[in-house]
Amino acid sequence: MTSKDGNITVDTAYEAVDPRDFPAMMDVERYGNRSTAFDKIISATHDHFWDPLDTKYIDFSLPFDMENEYLIEPSQNMELKTAVADKLDEKQKIQLVNMNVHWSLSSILHGEQGALALSASLCHILKDPGAQEYAANQTREEARHVTGFTNYIKARWGKPVQVGPALGDLLTELVLSPLVWKKLVGMQMLVEGLAMGAFATFYKFSRDPLMVKVMQLTMTDEAFHHKFGKIWADRTIPKLSESERNQIEDWAWEVFQVLLYNLGSPEQKKWMYERIGLDWQWVQSAFMEAMTDSNIREDMQESTNIFRVLIKTLLKAGIITERTSGNYAAFIDMKELYGEGDRMVGDDIAEEGIKFLRKLNGNNGAYMSLDSMTAAE
């Protein structure tokens, strides 16, 4: 049901209070009303522990020739698929690709900071002790991601670049929103869906072994964060009224469009083109000429494409129905996507990373796979 403050709560595990209402957290009846829905992912926390400050997990001193080597396969760079490529020599192409990686990883760092703040904000409003404990666990894990990506960016460039308006505005909206559904759909599905696609892409196409390790270690945590959002969807979406479902579905589509057309637009990366002597408006025109719907659709055939992963996340969560599937069908074969299994891109990478961490941490006990982290409690 939708409360007066706009929260949509159909499962007591997601009941929320005003963040200023701390006395509600000291209600003696509240402590014993704990959902078991999150126990598995809470118990599995030790399976994927890692410390970005400990070289036994990752060593940020590993070198890389930034001037002469591509950080990722150049085939993954959008600009080089346009007329921009004809304007650049090889050294400039390397510089452009590596600056784009700087931009992307800075965006990921800002996203991790947003996830940290959002998870902490959930601790202030979720009444269920189990949901609150999980949010606290995720806060800790997002904090180590901030440290990990900060250290990687420091090793390769010194410091991150400013967040772009599209991502910055979305993160601010999610962190400051009092609505649990908007926080969970926005962060645990939309942003985490994008992130898992980005991590898998960098893991698959990076030429820097250090980056590959950062991605895998981060994914061992993020796969669980995605499961938290899936639990919410499984327990909430089927019980919504038509108007409530439409509200969530329409908001997700609006956010998807903003991210698709603005997340990596040339206008947000003017500084990058200035360094290689290109006018950003000319670059944007080259983008508009090359990035047609058919070209976007072709790019989305790649399993790690961030927007393909995002659409699948929303589809499997029940947030895309026949009512809006036609919107997404302009970019991807929805029947094919629906027919895929529930495993997400990156789950296999995360599983291998967890096995590595369990061995490193001396954990030889029973292992609970990601597939077992279901909402059927």
Q: Give the pLDDT score at 225.
A: 84
Please give the angle made by the CA atoms of 96, 97 and 102, to the nearest 5 degrees: 95
Q: Give the pLDDT score at 217.
A: 96
Q: Give the pLDDT score at 366.
A: 62
Q: Give the pLDDT score at 375.
A: 42
Q: Which of 230, 167, 221 is nearest to 196 (CA)?
A: 221
The model's pLDDT over 315-373, given as tens digits with 9 standing for 90+, comes to: 888 999 999 999 998 888 888 888 887 777 788 888 999 999 999 998 876 666 666 65
**β-strand partners of 126:** 16
**β-strand partners of 8:** 2
Domain layout of the chain by residue ranges: 62-361
Q: Give the pLDDT score at 197.
A: 87
CATH code assigned to 62-361: 1.20.1260.10
**β-strand partners of 16:** 126
Determine the Cα–Cα distance for residues 33 and 20; give it in Å rounded to an integer.
21
Q: Give the pLDDT score at 227.
A: 79
Q: Give the pLDDT score at 291.
A: 74
Q: HSE on the CB side for 161, CA within 13 Å?
A: 19
Question: Which regions in the chain score pLDDT beneath 70?
Answer: 1-6, 293, 365-377
Q: Give the pLDDT score at 377.
A: 46
The model's pLDDT over 269-323, given as tens digits with 9 standing for 90+, comes to: 999 999 999 999 999 999 888 877 677 777 777 777 888 888 888 988 899 999 9
Q: Give the pLDDT score at 313.
A: 86
Question: In the chain, which residue ranges form alpha helices assigned H by DSSP?
Answer: 39-43, 90-125, 129-156, 165-176, 180-183, 192-205, 209-236, 242-262, 270-275, 280-290, 293-299, 306-316, 322-329, 334-339, 347-360
